[in-house]
């Protein structure tokens, strides 16, 4: 098992490729499902689902019920309420009387709380899962400061260029692949000349445009530079970074003018209503297309963001990993860890799938042959990438990503000519950050 990790524990090269394509050769059979934790892990477990929508709660309840049925340990599930508020209050929540297990996100948001002693070390549970857990996810879940894992990965999704195949056909482009910057510009120009929006953007939340910034950076300067930049080893005032902003500025004329008035759901609606050509976004809302009609869902497609610098091709992708953590301050932390482990096991994922979860799972035993075309394409998009990132606000200090990078990109989008002033401000803010403790 590779312990090759960097600051973000996201150096999950190559290994993911095999994992993503569905754990070929590791299908049923293999080792026996390891027993779910030891005796110490018995007893009732409480579980917080990081969702407040109906489907998410239904899936979480199905997980709880299936675990109870399998182990006899009763699981009490509750929703987190507003997920942004849950995210914002997580440190306070974990210091109070948290549930034993809760759904959470890998990357800085886990590792930081692990360093603060708020999360249960689940390294043993990860090794219990054995070859069910793809190595790439293990290194993705590894905290660089101590080499241990504090989250059991369960699902993930890619960030890519989303569009409608029918629009590409109308423009005379290959509906299944927009590979080069030229094709991409044709897409933007074509949709714009039809009176539509070329590149949908909604950055009201302050994080949506980070996806475009990150992908431009890895396409132009490579994965290593991007991670260096997010961890202070490269500078925002570097010409490389300024070039990325200037490339970003090329997209602004194709954006909707009200990009600071709408959020990610506005972008989704633009694509849903056939009002835009393409958009850079994570694929978590594809079910909304299905909810509208099968035809709309079949029309939806995702490809990796086009190549810019041939030296890097399309070798990197944002593919945030979600999972389950156990809280140290829970009443039954060992039980929480065992439940988290079970959620990452084949049985846990089958239970979620049976309850209607269409996410991509982080388990090699799951059969992906039944995936629909769009989900297979999501796997292919992730599989093509050599480097997987967790998204800017999970790869970077929280007191920099949200409070500095978000507003800076908003300021840039409204006044791209001020790029030098903006990067100066960002670098000054980075330099003034207190030591991370």
Partner 1 sequence: MTTTAAGTTTRRRRAFSKGDRFTLAMFIGVPSFLHFVWVWIPALLTIGLSFTFWNGVQLSNIRWAGLANYETIFTASPQFYDALRNNVYWLLWFSFIATPLGVLLAYQIDRRIRGHKIYESVYYIPVVLSLAVIGIIWRFMLGPAGLVQVLLGRPGIEEALPIFGNYDINTYVILSIASWRHIGYIMLLYLAGLKAVDPTLREAAAIDGATEWQTFRKVVLPAMKPVNIIIIVITVIESLRAFDLIYIIYGTSTGWPILGMLVFTNIYGQAASMLGAAYAVILFLLSITPIVFYLRTVFQDDKP
Are 37 and 341 within 8 A, CB to CB? Answer: yes
Site for partner 1 in 320-359 (CB under 8 A): none
| 88 in contact with partner 1 (CB under 8 A) | yes
User: Of 97, 273, 293, 309, which one interacts with partner 1 (CB under 8 A)?
Assistant: 273
DSSP letters along 320-387, please? -EEEEEEBTTSS-HHHHHHHHHHHHSHHHHHHHHHTT--SEES-TTS--TT--HHHHHHHHHHHH-SE
**Which is closer to partner 1, CB of 2 or CB of 237?**
237
Q: Judged by CB under 8 A, which stretch of 6-14, 243-251, 325-333, 399-407 contacts partner 1?
A: 399-407
> Which residues are paired to 75 by β-bridges?
45
| 425 in contact with partner 1 (CB under 8 A) | yes
CA distance 20 to 137: 10
- CA nearest to 180, candidates 344, 65, 305: 305
Site for partner 1 in 356-395 (CB under 8 A): none
User: Of 275, 307, 380, 383, which one interacts with partner 1 (CB under 8 A)?
Assistant: 275
What secondary structure letter does DSSP report for 306? P
Q: Judged by CB under 8 A, which stretch of 15-23, 119-127, 223-231, 425-433 contacts partner 1?
A: 425-433
Report, in Å, the least distance between residue 205 CB and partner 1.
6
| 276 in contact with partner 1 (CB under 8 A) | yes
| 414 in contact with partner 1 (CB under 8 A) | yes
Q: What is the maximum span of the chain, computed from C-alpha positions, in angstroms?
A: 66
User: Of 256, 359, 377, 387, which one interacts with partner 1 (CB under 8 A)?
Assistant: 256
Site for partner 1 in 195-224 (CB under 8 A): 196-197, 204-207
- The structure tokens listed for 144 are 């660089």
Compute φ and ψ for 335, nearest 5 degrees. -65, -40
Compute φ and ψ for 389, nearest 5 degrees. -105, 160
| 231 in contact with partner 1 (CB under 8 A) | no
| 74 in contact with partner 1 (CB under 8 A) | no
| 429 in contact with partner 1 (CB under 8 A) | yes
Q: Judged by CB under 8 A, which stretch of 123-131, 180-188, 271-279, 308-316 contacts partner 1?
A: 271-279
| 434 in contact with partner 1 (CB under 8 A) | yes
| 259 in contact with partner 1 (CB under 8 A) | yes
- The structure tokens listed for 270 are 């633009």
CA distance 243 to 372: 39
| 416 in contact with partner 1 (CB under 8 A) | no
Helix (H) / strand (E) containing 182: helix 181-193
| Rounded (5°) CA angle 158-161-167 | 135
- CA nearest to 264, candidates 280, 243, 251: 280
Token pair 């989303």 in the structure block, residue: 162
DSSP three-state, residue 158: coil
**Which is closer to partner 1, CB of 214 or CB of 410?**
410
Site for partner 1 in 101-160 (CB under 8 A): 109, 113, 116-118
- Where along the sequence are the contacts to partner 1 (CB under 8 A)? 84, 87-92, 95, 109, 113, 116-118, 196-197, 204-207, 256-262, 266, 269-270, 273, 275-276, 398-404, 406-408, 410-411, 414, 422, 425-426, 428-429, 431-432, 434-435, 437
């Amino acid at each position: 098992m590779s312990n090759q990790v960097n600051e973000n524990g996201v150096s999950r090269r190559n290994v993911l490729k095999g994992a993503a394509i569905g754990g070929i050769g590791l299908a049923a059979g293999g080792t026996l499902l390891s027993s779910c934790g030891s005796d110490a892990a018995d007893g009732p477990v409480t579980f917080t689902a990081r969702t407040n929508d109906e489907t998410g709660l239904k899936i979480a309840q199905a997980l709880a019920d299936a675990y109870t049925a399998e182990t006899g340990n009763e699981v009490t599930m509750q929703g987190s309420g507003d997920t942004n508020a849950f995210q914002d209050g997580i440190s306070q929540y974990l210091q109070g009387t948290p549930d034993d297990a809760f759904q959470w996100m890998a990357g800085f948001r886990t590792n930081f709380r692990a360093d603060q002693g708020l999360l249960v070390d689940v390294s043993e549970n990860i090794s219990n899962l054995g070859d069910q857990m793809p190595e790439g996810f293990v290194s993705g879940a590894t905290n660089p400061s101590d080499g241990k894992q504090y989250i059991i990965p369960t699902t993930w999704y890619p960030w890519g260029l989303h569009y409608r195949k029918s629009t590409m056909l109308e423009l005379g482009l290959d509906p299944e692949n927009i590979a080069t910057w030229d094709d991409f510009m044709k897409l933007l120009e074509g949709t714009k000349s039809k009176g539509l929006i070329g590149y949908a953007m909604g950055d009201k939340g302050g994080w949506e445009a980070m996806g475009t910034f990150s992908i431009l950076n890895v396409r132009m300067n490579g994965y290593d530079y991007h991670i260096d930049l997010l961890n202070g080893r490269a500078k925002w005032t570097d010409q490389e970074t300024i070039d990325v902003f200037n490339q970003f500025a090329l997209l602004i004329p194709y954006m909707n003018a009200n990009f600071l008035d709408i959020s990610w759901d506005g972008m989704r609606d633009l694509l849903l209503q056939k009002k835009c050509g393409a958009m850079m976004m994570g694929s978590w809302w594809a079910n909304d297309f299905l909810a509208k009609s099968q035809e709309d869902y079949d029309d939806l497609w995702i490809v990796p963001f086009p190549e810019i610098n041939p030296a890097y091709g399309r070798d990197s992708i944002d593919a945030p990993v979600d999972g389950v953590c156990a809280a140290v301050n829970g009443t039954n932390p060992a039980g929480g860890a065992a439940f988290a482990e079970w959620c990452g096991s084949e049985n846990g994922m089958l239970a979620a799938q049976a309850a209607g979860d269409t996410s991509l799972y982080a388990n090699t035993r799951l059969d992906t042959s039944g995936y629909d075309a769009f989900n297979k394409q999501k796997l292919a998009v992730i599989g093509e990438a050599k480097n997987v990132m967790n998204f800017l606000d999970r790869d970077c200090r929280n007191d920099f990503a949200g409070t500095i990078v978000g507003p800076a990109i908003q300021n840039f989008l409204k006044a791209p000519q001020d790029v030098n002033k903006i990067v100066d401000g960002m670098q000054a803010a980075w330099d003034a950050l207190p030591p991370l403790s």
